Structure 1
Amino acid sequence: MMFKRLLPLTAIALLGLAGCSKSSDENANTSKLEVRLMDAPGDFRSVVLDVLQVEVHLKDEADPDGWKKLNFTPRAINVLEYVNGNSALLVNDDFAPGDLKEIRLILGPNSYVIGRDGQQYDLKTPSGQTSGVKLKLEKATLKLRETFQLLLDFDVAKSIVERGNWKPGNDKKERYLLKPVIRVVAQDLRAGLHGTVNPAAARPQILAIRTSGLLAPDTVSTAADASGEFRISGLAAGTYRVEFFPTVTAPAGQTYQNKVLTGITIVSDQVKELGTTTLN
C-alpha cells in the first residue's frame, strides 16, 4: 500500500504518560489514541525498521517546543509481517481531546533488509536518525471518550532506494537508502477492497487508484498472499481503478497477464467484494 505519515495527541494528555494509573473521572475526560503500522510488500524477504521513538506535534509546526513523546517502547519491526489487513500496534493510550498537527518517527541505526539473495543489507536513514521522519496530519481530531485510530501505511517498494553505483562485491552497508514513504489513514475511513486472484502463484501486486471522490487522487497498494487472497483497508469513498501486476514468471506453457478493473465504487464503512480475478 502507499503512504504518508501518522499520529495524533494533545498537550494536557501527555502529563499522564508516566504510566501511573488514572481515576475513572480522569478517564471520562480523555480520548483514546491508537496507532498502528501496516505495509505494502516489496521485493525483499524482510524489511526491519529500528523504531526508537514516536512523537506528535501539538502546536504550530514552527514551534520547536510542540513535540511530545508518545508512550512507545522501542522495537525492531519487520514490516513485511503486516500485510492484508494485519497491523502492528505501536501506541494505545489515553490523551486529551484536541487537534494533532504532525507525527514523527525517530529511527535508530539498526534498520536493515534481507534481500531475495538471502543477504542482509543495512538501511541508511539520513533524516530518520536526526530530525526524524516527519508526517503531517490533516483533520486529525481526538474527540471526548472516543477512540481515534491512525494507520501508518508503509510503502516498501517506494521507501527503499538502491544506490545507482552499487555493484556486487561492494560494501553491503552502502547498497540501500531508506527514504520512507508513509500514508496516514484515519480510523473513520473504514471502507476497503477484498478479493482473490487466480492463479495464486502469480503473486500480483494490486493497486487501488482513486479516480473520483471528495479527497485528492490517491493510490494504495498491497499484494496477494500465497492463497491468492488480498485486502486493502482504510479507503476513502469514491470510484477506483484496480490494477493487478503479476510479480513472478509463469511456468512453461502458461502466461500471467496484467488486469485492470474500472469503475469500482467504494462506499463509506463498507468492504467491496471483488470476487476472483483471473490473471491467465
Structure 2
Amino acid sequence: MLIVAMAVTMFYSCDDDSDAEGKARVKVSMTDAPGDYKNVFIDVQDVKVKSNISADEEGWVSLSGVEPRIYDLLELTGGVTQLLANSELETGTLGQIRVILGPDNTLVLNDGSEVPLSTPSAQQSGLKLQVNQELQAGMEYEYLLDFDVDQSIVRSGNSGGYILKPVIRLVNLESTGTIEGEVQPSLSQSVVKAANANHNITAYAATDGKFSLNGVPPGTYQVTVTPAIASGLEVKVINNVQVSSGASVDLDVIFLNEL
C-alpha cells in the first residue's frame, strides 16, 4: 500500500518556536502492513503537500528534510515506523499529501530471487491522500502512512512480472488507539490482525514476539494471531478487544498451542 495502507496520524503539542513564527510543524512517517515476500524495496524521492483540495496540479510544495532513499517496507512492521519528513508549514488548510516514488523499486520473493517492481508513471507521481486539516500556529501534526504491501503489489497477467499500485491507510492517531502484546513461542513471525465490520489492521510480530497495531479506530475488535504453517502452532483468536481513543490495550503474552 503506497499507501501501504496509508495511515495518517496527527499529534497535537505545543511548539514555542513554531508559535512565535506563526507556523505549524508537520511530520510524515511511514509504516507497513505485512505481505508474503522477503523484501519490498521502494524508492522514496519526495513528500509533497498541498494547501487545498482542488483537482488541478498547481500548489504542491515539497516538505523540507526529506532524504531520497530506498526503504524496505518489510522492516516497517510490528509497530516500527520511519520518519520521512519533519517540516514547518504556514498555518491554514492542509488539503492533500503525496509521496513521490522513483523508478528503483524491487521485490525479493521468498525463494530469494529479485525482480523489478514496475511502477507506472501515475504511481511514481504519488497517490493523492485527502487530509483537509486546519493547521494552527504552535501545534504539531504527524501523519502516518500505513503502506499495505499485500494489496499494493499486483501480479501482471501478461508478462508474469509485478506492478506496484500503492494502497495507503490514513489515520488520525490522536483519535485512535493501539493494540500491543507479545506472541510466544516466537518460532517464526506471526501475523497479528485486528478486525471488525469496518476496519482490518495487520502487522507482523517481531522476532522476539512483540507487536504493536497502531492507529486503531475506537471500537470492538477480534484479534487473530496466525503463525507460519511450518511452525506447527495453532491460530489464536481473542474476541471483544475494546479500543478507545488515545489509549493502548496490552494483550500481554499470547501463548500459541501446538497443533
Which residue is equivalent to 1:214?
Answer: none
Identity between Structure 1 and Structure 2 (%): 33
Q: Name the CA distance, whole Å, in 2 between partners of 1:188 and 1:244.
A: 26
Which residue is equivalent to 1:162?
Answer: 155
CA apart distance, 1:203: 2.4
Question: Are residue 94 (structure 1) and residue 88 (structure 2) matched?
Answer: yes
Question: Are residue 46 (structure 1) and residue 23 (structure 2) matched?
Answer: no
Which residue is equivalent to 1:205?
Answer: 191
Determine which of 118, 129, 138 is the counterpart of 2:112. 118
Question: Structure 2 unaligned runs (5+)?
Answer: 11-16
CA apart distance, 1:27: 4.3
**Deviation larger for 91-100 or 144-153:** 91-100
CA contact (8 A) 1:36 1:149 kept: yes
Change (3 A) 1:98 1:209: farther
Determine which of 229, 237, 241 is the counterpart of 1:248. 229
Determine which of 123, 135, 139 is the counterpart of 1:128. 123
CA contact (8 A) 2:194 2:222 kept: yes
Q: SS in structure 2 opposite 1:158?
A: helix
**Deviation larger for 146-155 or 260-269:** 260-269
Question: Are residue 221 (structure 1) and residue 202 (structure 2) matched?
Answer: yes
CA apart distance, 1:4: 3.0
Q: SS in structure 1 opposite 2:40?
A: strand
TM-superposition CA deviations, 1:239-262 (whole Å, max 9, x none): 111122222313xxxx42222222
Change (3 A) 1:117 1:62: same
Q: Which has the higher contact order (CA 8 A, sep 6+)?
A: 2
CA apart distance, 1:202: 4.5
Question: Structure 1 unaligned runs (5+)?
Answer: 9-23, 167-173, 212-216
Q: Name the CA distance, whole Å, in 1 between partners of 2:222 and 2:99.
A: 32
Tell which structure's C-alpha radius of gyration is larger.
1
**Deviation larger for 118-127 or 30-39:** 118-127
Alignment RMSD (CA, Å): 2.5
Using structure 1 for the length normalisation, give the TM-score: 0.80
CA contact (8 A) 1:6 1:103 kept: no
CA contact (8 A) 2:28 2:84 kept: yes
Using structure 2 for the length normalisation, give the TM-score: 0.86
**Deviation larger for 33-42 or 61-70:** 61-70
Q: SS in structure 2 opposite 1:42?
A: coil
Which residue is equivalent to 1:4?
Answer: 6
Q: SS in structure 2 opposite 1:188?
A: helix
**Number of aligned pairs?**
248
Q: Name the CA distance, whole Å, in 2 between partners of 1:4 and 1:264.
A: 23
CA contact (8 A) 2:7 2:172 kept: no
Change (3 A) 1:278 1:70: same
Question: Are residue 275 (structure 1) and residue 256 (structure 2) matched?
Answer: no
CA apart distance, 1:134: 2.0
